[in-house]
Amino acid sequence: MDFGFILSSAAGELFSPTTAAYALATLGLAVHFGYTGLLNFGQAGFMAVGAYGFAISTLTFHVPFFVGLLIAVVCSAIFALLLGIPTLRLRADYLAIVTIAAAEIVRYIVTTNQLTSVTGSANGLAAFEGDFYAMNPFPPGTYIGMNNRDFFIRVVAWIVVAVFCLLVWLLMRSPWGRVLKGIREDENAVRSLGKNVYAYKMQSLIIGGVLGALAGMIFTLPRGAVQPANYGTELTFFLYTCLLLGGLGTVLGPVVGAMIFWVVLSLTQGILYGLIESGTITWLNTVQAGQLRYILVGVALMLLMIFRPQGVLGNKKELAFA
């Protein structure tokens, strides 16, 4: 078993664009659930809206990169509005069911064969990332063991994550952020102070959703392809695992959580595959090893929620639930 390779590929996951995308989407969830107490189970839908909004506007309408980015962000804001109007006045579990249903509706719509010319149905869309890489300021060469494309997407992804972490941090220590936390603790108390709780919740839903959409773009850009199968309900559940790992009501928690999630997944895969190849484990094949990792994710989510709901960085007093 090549421990050097296993460790280096696990370390590579620390700063991979996928980890950045998970961190950003989880940050959106932290705004929703950690700070406002909104139980959004449709973050995968927001990511899909972002990724498809960008890919479709680039491929079908041939708009420049930043216009496509703007369209994706606007689409996700509209999606948040549509979700929020019927559900934000209702109890938390209604929002959960409606958001998960809406995310699945998005996935069904981009999968249907009726819209193959626009969405590419089950095969998805590809070759929309040209404009992005055309902006690459790094000349071809090797940067810390990566080519200039891989290096560029990592730099951009983590700058975006850092900027939004800062932004969320500033927002949450502003008076606006304190109202959000107040809503999380006691909605009626905040309402009795004359605040429009509905409007605050809607703003929170939109901000977190836009973060999800940007994460969806970061997720698809390095792959150069967007496929509906990536945006199932499991994605949202993995994001919740990251959120609970890192800490609900924190800014850096989502980043730490996403890093731990991917490093652990990579480590377990490397070790299990190594043991199988060396013949130490014979009761498992490599496909089953992949499934074993997701069993661990599920069990980890349960144990975290039961025994350490505040995660690595969180504060037990700042939990979004009683």
Partner 1 sequence: MRSTTSGLSHRRRGRLLRAVGAVAAAVAALLLVIAPASGAATPSPTPSPSATQFTNSISGFLRGDDRAPIPGVTITATNGDFTGTAKSGANGAWTIGVPTQGTYEVKLDESTLPQGIKLAEGQDNPRKVTFSQTSNLSVIFAFGKGIVVAEQNFGQNLLNRLVAGLSFGLLLALASVGLSLIFGTTGLTNFAHGEMVTLGAVLVFAFNGMHLPFWLAILLAVVGGGLFGYVQDAGLWKPLRRRGTGLVPMMIVSIGLALAVRYIIQFYFGGATQQLPFAQSAEILIGPVSISPNNLLSLLVSAIVIAALGVVLLKTRLGKATRAVADNPALAAASGIDVDFVIRIVWVVGGMLAALGGILWAYYRPGVTFDMGSQILLLIFASVTLGGLGTVWGALVGSIIVGIFVELTTVFGLAADLKYVGALFIMIVVLLFRPQGILGRRERVG
Q: Which residues bind partner 1 (CB under 8 A)?
A: 39, 85-87, 89-94, 96-98, 100-102, 104-105, 108-109, 111-114, 121-123, 185-186, 233-234, 237, 240-241, 244, 285-288, 291-292, 294-295, 297-307, 309, 316, 319-322
Is 135 or 296 the residue whose CB approaches partner 1 more closely?
296
d(CA 310, CA 316): 5
Q: Are 13 and 266 in contact (CB under 8 A)?
A: yes
d(CA 144, CA 261): 23
Question: Tokens 């349960």 belong to which residue?
Answer: 302
Task: Provide the terminal-to-terminal Cα distance of the chain, rounded to the nearest Å.
Answer: 47
Is 9 or 121 the residue whose CB approaches partner 1 more closely?
121
Q: Where are the beta strands (DSSP E) in 148-291?
A: 225-226
User: Shortest gap between Cβ of 309 and partner 1 (angstroms)?
Assistant: 6
User: Shortest gap between Cβ of 81 and partner 1 (angstroms)?
Assistant: 13
d(CA 100, CA 37): 16
Could you tell me which residues come within 8 angstroms of residue 310 by beta carbon, excluding any fewer than 6 positions away? Answer: 247, 248, 316, 318, 319
Is 29 or 157 the residue whose CB approaches partner 1 more closely?
29
**DSSP structural state of residue 122:** G
SS3 of residue 146 by DSSP = strand
Is 84 or 212 the residue whose CB approaches partner 1 more closely?
84
User: Shortest gap between Cβ of 279 and partner 1 (angstroms)?
Assistant: 18
User: Shortest gap between Cβ of 242 and partner 1 (angstroms)?
Assistant: 13
User: Shortest gap between Cβ of 52 and partner 1 (angstroms)?
Assistant: 16
Is 88 or 210 the residue whose CB approaches partner 1 more closely?
88
Is 274 or 309 the residue whose CB approaches partner 1 more closely?
309
Q: For helices 43-59 and 197-220, give the axis angle rounded to 10 degrees.
A: 60
User: Shortest gap between Cβ of 265 and partner 1 (angstroms)?
Assistant: 13
